[in-house]
Amino acid sequence: MTARIQFESKNEIGVFAKLTNAYCLASIGGSEVFYSTFESQLADTIPVVHASISGCRIVGRMCVGNKRGLLVPNSTFDQELQQLRNALPDSVKVQRVEERLSALGNVVACNDYVAIAHPDLDKETEEIIADTLGVEVFRSTIAGNVLIGSYCVMNNRGALVHPNTSITNQEELSSMLQVPVVAGTVNCGSSVLGAGLVVNDWFAFTGLDTTSTELAVIESVFKLNDTEPNRITTEMRATLIEGYDVIKYRKSTEVVLERNRLLPRYNKYLTQMGVNFQYGFGFTAGKS
């Protein structure tokens, strides 16, 4: 399942929220609609907590966590730390980290089993991540970018990475994570995935500008509806591709663009998933 929302007219909802399989943090001071959207979709399964970190509302960029723990920078106030410990499940360990790269959400991406970290992260921080979150930690870059948390979003079923990530880089990441890795965008072409998207194993929230095509890819990559390749066609049929004009069918998997552009990453992804195109009528599924 997916939902499109905004935080005070901003589409960078991943800046103001953190979502895991055990809890959701939503920034204080936002509109009630922002908080209530999370609560309406999640409150029956996990707690949704109003929070600030280090006096800032950008909670999604300041912390990193999973179902076992939550790591916050050393600048987090005592009152904020106690509030988090009181509000989160007893099984979630909340811990401060003394780290020069204090915006932890920008430099680390993780699920419940693996974390990918900035190459220059302190060794002690790496050990704390491994111990508190119960994950194996790898250091890497994504499409040449060291801000892993900004350009990679993952759950336990898949990962979405910067659109310019090479096939070789995707394969390396997939080998580390042991899940499929796909290059894509959010918020109508934004490559800053961590800012525009939060996801757990059953729900994703994106910025309001996210297109239907991007949503279909997100649902498939993260298997939010146990999506199979042939189901992408149904998801995308209503709005063939927002912002693009005419698509013609050539052979079984080749797309020719007329008058407008289609981002090559979607063609490549859909081709790999075995989805064929048919002129004028959207998509038809079939293995090539």
Note the pLDDT tens digit of each residue in 177-213. Answer: 999 999 999 999 999 999 999 999 999 999 999 999 9
Q: Could you tell me the pTM of the whole model?
A: 0.77
Tokens in use for 240?
């063939």
- Contacts of residue 33, defined as CB under 8 A and 6 or more positions apart, other chains included, come to 5
Does any domain span residue 199? yes
- Contacts of residue 205, defined as CB under 8 A and 6 or more positions apart, other chains included, come to 2, 3, 4, 5, 13, 17, 19, 37, 38, 41, 197, 198, 199
Does any domain span residue 248? yes
The rounded distance, in Å, linking the Cα atoms of 203 and 200 is 6
Return phi, psi of residue 142, to 5°.
Answer: -125, 115
Does any domain span residue 284? no
Per residue in 27-80, pLDDT (tens digit) is: 998 778 899 999 999 989 999 999 999 999 999 999 999 999 999 999 999 999
Q: In angstroms, how far is CA 4 from the centroid of its own chain?
A: 13
The rounded distance, in Å, linking the Cα atoms of 219 and 198 is 12
- Max CA distance (Å), the chain: 62
Q: Residue 253 — very low, low, confident or very high, per pLDDT cuts 50/70/90?
A: very low
Q: What CATH number does the domain containing 114 carry?
A: 3.75.10.10
Q: Is 134 left (phi over 0), alpha (psi -120 to 50) or beta?
A: left
Lowest mean pLDDT among 22-31, 186-195, 246-255: 246-255
Same domain, 43 and 158: yes
Does any domain span residue 276? no
Tokens in use for 235?
């998801």
Same domain, 192 and 242: no
Confidence check: pLDDT of 285 > 90: no
Question: What is the enclosing helix (H) or strand (E) of 96?
Answer: strand 93-97
pLDDT given for residue 136 in this prediction: 97
Tokens in use for 51?
């929070």
Same domain, 251 and 202: no
User: 266 lies in which domain range?
Assistant: 228-271
Q: Give the bridge partners for 258, in sequence order.
A: 246
More confident residue, 239 or 180: 180
pLDDT given for residue 17 in this prediction: 96
Average pLDDT for 140-148: 96
DSSP letter, residue 56: B
- Using DSSP, state whether 104 is helix, strand or coil: helix
Same domain, 98 and 216: yes
pLDDT given for residue 226 in this prediction: 67
Count CB-CB contacts under 10 A for residue 33.
11
Confidence check: pLDDT of 267 > 70: no
